Structure formats: structure tokens, C-alpha cells
Amino acid sequence: DAGITQSPRHKVTETGTPVTLRCHQTENHRYMYWYRQDPGHGLRLIHYSYGVKDTDKGEVSDGYSVSRSKTEDFLLTLESATSSQTSVYFCAIRTADRANTEAFFGQGTRLTVV
């Protein structure tokens, strides 16, 4: 295992409520990512971080915010959850942003918005 823990692993929440997903790593990797995966799609990048307090938007960032106050933790927040945000969320880490650097993924968080 690459030392990545996602919490919670499963969550059911109501439309309009705030939700925070946590990604915790023990590898001290600089780069961290949040993806979502929906049926019929591959993984799509939501937000990423290239250091403490350094974050940027990915392909599908609308409705999501992130924070990284410590190297080991990357939080994904849905300010007001909608049914379209029902998905499986994956966190990933990388040591560097070079083309030959592999990524390691967490086990995923299954979020259902009702």
C-alpha cells in the first residue's frame, strides 16, 4: 500500500448539505489529487495540489473546493451537495510532476447525495 487513506469510505448525505472528504498520506509526497469517477467515464480531475496551500482547478472543479494546510492532508469540500455530485471520489499522490512519475491512488470514497 502507498500509505493513502481516504475517509469516509462511504457517505450518504442530503442535497444542500456541506460535505468534506479527507485524503491522508504518510509518504510526504508533494503532489496530491482529487478525481471523481462516474459510470461511463474514466477518472476526471477535480482539483490538485502542488504543495501546502498551493492548489489549482482541474477539469470538473465547479461546486468543489479544496484545502491543504499540511503536507499529509488534502481535503475536498462540497459546499452544498447536489445529486450530480453522487460519485466515487479517488485521491492520488505523486512524488514529482515529471512525466515518468507514477501516481498512487486511495481506495475511494463512495458518496451518495439524496
Partner 1 sequence: DAKTTQPNSMESNEEEPVHLPCNHSTISGTDYIHWYRQLPSQGPEYVIHGLTSNVNNRMASLAIAEDRKSSTLILHRATLRDAAVYYCILSGGGADGLTFGKGTHLIIQP
Nearest to 48 by CA among 36, 35, 39: 35
95/101 Cα distance (integer angstroms): 7
Stretch that binds partner 1, among 12-20, 67-75, 76-84, 102-110 (CB under 8 A): 102-110
Footprint on residues 46-85 left by partner 1 (CB under 8 A): 48, 50, 56, 58
Q: Are 76 and 88 in contact (CB under 8 A)?
A: no
Pairwise CA distance, residues 99 & 109, whole Å: 27
Binding residue for partner 1, selected from 15, 28, 97, 112, defined by CB under 8 A? 97
Q: Indicate which single residue of 107, 111, 112, 113 sits in contact with partner 1 (rule: CB under 8 A).
A: 107
By the criterion CB under 8 A, which residues form the site for partner 1? Answer: 31, 33, 35, 40-45, 48, 50, 56, 58, 90, 92, 94, 97-108
